[in-house]
Amino acid sequence: MSYQERNIVVYIVSGIIVMAVYTMHMQALFEAGLLESPNAGVEIGWSVLKLIGGSIIATIVVTILVTIINAIITKETDVDASDERDKQIDLLGMKVGFIAFSVIFIGIFIGLIFGLTTTMAMIAMIYAMWFSSIIESVVRLYVYRQGF
């Protein structure tokens, strides 16, 4: 597995872990009734700040652990440099991720027309950003695996 592929897998795994923890946190807020109160925006704002911080920390920790484990197992110390192909793959992934986010974003606004609450719409947008970044990473990994 190449350096870029390993980093993509690390990003996907850490993203799934962070969003699982975030989902449990939001479930607790929902069960406590805090997402239906007048201060729901404050709760969502704080939860997003925690999500950003947790995501950064989790990605760094998982990347370091995977790099150490990989270096021990494979005895590799070289880091692959990025080239034009990597940039093209990144652009393709970003394009697909942007399209996915745009479709979900429009879907959320259609949901608002049919009665989706603004609180749930804000939470859905957070999940839309996460889901589109996962789609972007999966596309990049797929293209690397196809030998583009």
| In the chain, where the domains are located | 3-146
> According to the model, what pLDDT value does residue 53 have?
92
Mean pLDDT for each consecutive 10-residue tract of the chain (148 residues)?
84 92 93 89 92 90 86 74 86 96 97 94 95 96 87
Residues 6 or more apart whose Cβ sits within 8 Å of residue 109: 121
> According to the model, what pLDDT value does residue 83 have?
82
> According to the model, what pLDDT value does residue 78 have?
64
Distance CA(139)–CA(95), nearest Å, equals 10
> According to the model, what pLDDT value does residue 137 have?
95
Residue with tokens 């745009």: 102
> According to the model, what pLDDT value does residue 69 have?
86
For the chain, what's the residue count?
148
> According to the model, what pLDDT value does residue 79 have?
65
> According to the model, what pLDDT value does residue 140 have?
95
Asked if residue 24 lies in contact with residue 30, where contact means CB atoms within 8 angstroms, the answer is: no
pTM for this model (two decimals): 0.84
Asked if residue 22 lies in contact with residue 51, where contact means CB atoms within 8 angstroms, the answer is: yes
Token pair recorded at residue 60:
């760094």
CA count, 13 A, side-chain hemisphere, 27: 6
Plot region of 2 (φ>0 → left; ψ -120 to 50 → alpha; else → beta): beta
> According to the model, what pLDDT value does residue 52 have?
92
Residue with tokens 């150490």: 68
Residue with tokens 């589109």: 132
